[in-house]
Amino acid sequence: MIRNNLFLNRLAVYTQKNEIAYDEKFHKGINIIRGDNSSGKSTITQFIFYALGGSFNDWVKEAKFCSLVIAEVEMNGAILVLKREINISEHTNKANPIEPIYIYWGSFEDSQKAASNEWNKFGYNTTLEKKSFSNVFFENLDIPIVKGENNITFHQILRLLYVDQDSPTSSLFFYEQFDTQLTRETVADLLLGAYSQTLYESRQRILEVRDEIDDIRKEVKVIKQYIPNELDLYPAHIITKIENKEKEIASFEDELLRYKDENKTVRYTKTAKLEFEKLNEESLVQRERVNSLENSIQLLKNEIDDSKYFISVLEDKIKAIRNSILTREFLEEYPLEYCPECLTKLHKIESEGKCKLCKEVVDSSTGITQARKIEQELSFQIKESKSLMVLRERKLLEANSSYEAEKLKLTALQSRVNAALKDVKSYREERIDSLYVEKGFAEGEMLQLNTLLERAQLFQSLLSRQRELEDEEKRLQVLIDGLTSTQEAKKKETNQTIEKKALYLLNNDLRRQEDFIAAKEFNIDYRNNIAFISDKDAKYSASSNFYLKTTARFAIFLASLENNQMRYPRFILCDNMEDKGIEEKRAQNFQRIVVTEAEKHSSNTYQMIFTTSFIAPELNNEKYVVGEYYSKDKPSLKNV
């Protein structure tokens, strides 16, 4: 079953006076826009490219009088309406190419009656808080979202779906000034199906794992710089030191008490009481700190458990929604002859659009549209919940590290309070003064040891986390290696299908370029942005160069109709079949070939839109054409 399908159902363009400049419905299968040169055919393809998320601002004079473009599209069965403004700068006389897109989940007619809050606004770029419109399109077309250095937008996808007039014939992709080899290669991998979701997620995850390992290594390095003695990085070793220090302090206190007992003149002093009160207050504060940490740790654990459960419930819901869409599609194609309840033979349906069982009228798109909308909302919630869970796990790690150290501080303070309760201060003798100095010094060391213990516990927690991540990294690398090998094999198979289609188009060209007729091999180098037969440096006429480039693009499109592994959305938009001086007879021959090849497949599985001034006579009928024949007197754009 082909899964990636993009259809343009309707395109409407409005002028700055809110008058209709263009409004036409498109159909699945072949769509041909006809007209003389300079009648506005190319402008319509630019509006389509822009409405679908293309980055474009080089509008012709007539288009600059337009302010809004609205498109009803279907993405994998879901109907949605895209609305995008055209804002021309007074300073540059250019439009903003990265305008946001407003999305309405439903039909064009319903969208016109919808309140403003029923439209969702999505920007061109993805932010931490909100998805871009590219994210929404990718998710609806089941195309993996690629992030990081190689951030792929839907504009990048359209560069291989749209054949325009302005790009050089040597450029396989829609031309872009700041283009990279990696971007083109990634777009090709996505559309040819060389990217699997599991492979993509594994690659994303291994990058996250490596980043976290790097962060931990840096933090571990800093801790080791401040703690040169390696033994001090083990909590058990520090705890032993603390216990020994406690014994040392206790011995000071015992000795102090003994000296005081020996003193015959005994009295309580105001200072002693103040010291006890101070210690008692410190002890209460420390106890409250420990209790607070215990509560925080328990609260964080509960919140993390709740988040995991919540995320798993949301993911189960998304799986259920996707399964319901697949089940619905399966049942639509399943030839039911008998009622599954009573096994009575079912009567044949007289007209399309009715249920096979109850014979009621059904709208095949509404359910899928609603399901896709719910899926979007659920994915938002999952993303937010995962971000919160990562923050909570980090807080829990820090809280656990502080907890044991704070508990030891409390124990030490309590010991001092207990000692103070028994303390009967006599007149200070020299030894007593000395003991207090030594005891104070030891207590200072205790504070240092508690701080050291906290760092040691954090150090060991980080090492433990690093080992977990390194194990995960090894598992992911094995998985990635295996999946990459499988994907390379699939890529080779897909390229063979594309080559077969391209050779058919070249071999059946009119005899204008002998190399095309005799071609035995065909190559596309996505990374270097060229298509060639056997010699990368071969030179042809401008018209043959255009023919070669268009052949490559239609070969990819036609291959996608046969190869279900490809994520190419079975949609191609080609402006001017006779560009670069291709003669009328040759252009019409190409039209016939690609239409014949496409029509070997159900028109419900693809959409081809192209413009021409030389339409083949047998294609010039209502089955194929969109709109009237345009001329300078009757251009495509009205009211401008």
- Strand, coil or helix: 150: helix
What distance in Å separates the CA atoms of residue 35 and residue 612, rounded to the nearest whole number? Answer: 7
Q: Are 206 and 480 in contact (CB under 8 A)?
A: yes
Nearest by Cα to 451 from 409, 400, 398: 409
| pLDDT over 90 (residue 393) | no
Least confident of 94-103, 176-185, 237-246: 176-185
Residue type, 286: Q
Local structure of residue 91 (DSSP, 8 states):
T
- Strand, coil or helix: 163: strand
Least confident of 140-149, 392-401, 534-543: 140-149
Counting residues of the chain whose pLDDT is more than 70, the rounded percentage is 91
Local structure of residue 29 (DSSP, 8 states):
E
What distance in Å separates the CA atoms of residue 607 and residue 27, rounded to the nearest whole number? Answer: 8
| pLDDT over 70 (residue 371) | yes
- Strand, coil or helix: 210: helix
Higher model confidence: residue 519 or residue 377?
519
Spell out the SS3 assignment of 508-569.
CCCCCCHHHHCCCCCEEECCCCEEECCCCCCCCCHHHHHHHHHHHHHHHHHHHHHCCCCCCC
| Tens of pLDDT, residues 93-114 | 889 999 999 999 999 999 999 9
Joined together, the tokens standing for residue 547 give 């023919």
| pLDDT over 60 (residue 583) | yes
- 74 pairs with which residues across the strands? 7, 79
Question: Quick one: 580 exposed, middle or buried, by C-beta within 10 A (0-12, 13-18, 19+)?
Answer: middle
pLDDT tier at 3, thresholds 50, 70, 90: low
Residue matched to tokens 């010991």: 415
pLDDT tier at 172, thresholds 50, 70, 90: very high
- Strand, coil or helix: 141: coil
Contacts 24+ apart (CB under 8 A), 633-637: 634/39, 635/39, 635/40, 635/62, 636/22, 636/33, 636/35, 636/39, 636/40, 636/41, 636/43, 636/44, 637/13, 637/21, 637/22, 637/40, 637/43, 637/62, 637/63, 637/66
**Average of per-residue pLDDT across 11-38:** 96
Taken in order 435, 436, 437, 443, the sign of the CA dihedral is positive
Question: Quick one: 259 exposed, middle or buried, by C-beta within 10 A (0-12, 13-18, 19+)?
Answer: middle
Joined together, the tokens standing for residue 280 give 């008692």
Nearest by Cα to 101 from 158, 150, 148, 33: 158
| pLDDT over 60 (residue 423) | no
pLDDT tier at 82, thresholds 50, 70, 90: very high
Q: Is 611 left (phi over 0), alpha (psi -120 to 50) or beta?
A: beta
Local structure of residue 575 (DSSP, 8 states):
S
Nearest by Cα to 216 from 419, 394, 350, 352: 394
Least confident of 8-17, 197-206, 330-339: 330-339
Residues in contact with 395: Cβ distance below 8 Å, sequence separation at least 6, in sequence order: 296, 300
Joined together, the tokens standing for residue 141 give 């077309």
Q: Is 301 left (phi over 0), alpha (psi -120 to 50) or beta?
A: alpha
| pLDDT over 90 (residue 255) | no
What distance in Å separates the CA atoms of residue 594 and residue 577, rounded to the nearest whole number? Answer: 11
Across all residues in the chain, what is the average pLDDT?
88
What distance in Å separates the CA atoms of residue 367 and residue 377, rounded to the nearest whole number? Answer: 16
Q: Give the model's pLDDT for residue 352.
A: 65
What distance in Å separates the CA atoms of residue 513 and residue 533, rounded to the nearest whole number? Answer: 12
What distance in Å separates the CA atoms of residue 209 and residue 467, rounded to the nearest whole number? Answer: 11
| pLDDT over 60 (residue 426) | no
Local structure of residue 53 (DSSP, 8 states):
T
Residue matched to tokens 């008058």: 19
